[in-house]
Amino acid sequence: MPKPLHYLYPILFLVLFALQTYTLWIVLRFSSTQAAVQSPQAQAAQAQQGTGTFTIGSAQASFSGTVQNVNPGALTIKLLGGGTQITLLTSSTQYVKQGVMKDTATQESDLAAYNAQIKTLMADPVKNESALEHMNLPLPYETTMVSPSAVTVGSSVVVIANNNGSSTYQAITVILL
């Protein structure tokens, strides 16, 4: 009986070592990815210390779901996670249809251009405050502009919105899926 256990302990040790190494790799990978995603905001925070606060991009929330009701100034969306959300629509709300996924090179190029523009605008954040607020991360897929009438009851949508206070959100972009 001791013979089989003799071989089991090294195998168990190797399995645990591999699992621990894999877990560490995942943690380090996630940390570096998150740092890369946050770098424009981190750069903005460092660049404007002591000069007030500046917002890069104006979107504060996004909702995914199915349109339940379309009114002239609002959409009622049945959320994927349950519940409903009423989102206000304005004349500046953009309506787009999601197309095919961009290839990796195009996505990286779009993100590099976005980061370069942020860096340029952060040279003088006070002067460029309005432009910084209108910066939004590039979408990873092609889009086509559509008319507001394309959004109908039953449409699957993603809404990128600003919070106007309490539970009221104003749509920046409505993406038809």
Q: How far apart are CA 143 and CA 100, in angstroms?
A: 8
CB 159 within 8 A of CB 60: no
For residue 41, give the 3-state DSSP assignment: helix
> Which of 3.30.200, 2.50.20, 1.10.390, 2.40.50 would CATH assign to domain 61-176?
2.40.50
| Res 68: pLDDT | 95
Domain boundaries, the chain: 1-30, 61-176
Q: Residues 6 or more apart from 54 whose CB is under 8 A from it?
A: 44, 48, 125, 129, 132, 133
pLDDT band at 137, cuts 50/70/90? confident
Q: What is the pTM of this model?
A: 0.61
Which tens digit of pLDDT belongs to each residue from 29-53?
A: 655 444 344 444 444 444 444 444 5
Distances (CA, A) of 80 to 43, 60, 122: 34, 18, 37
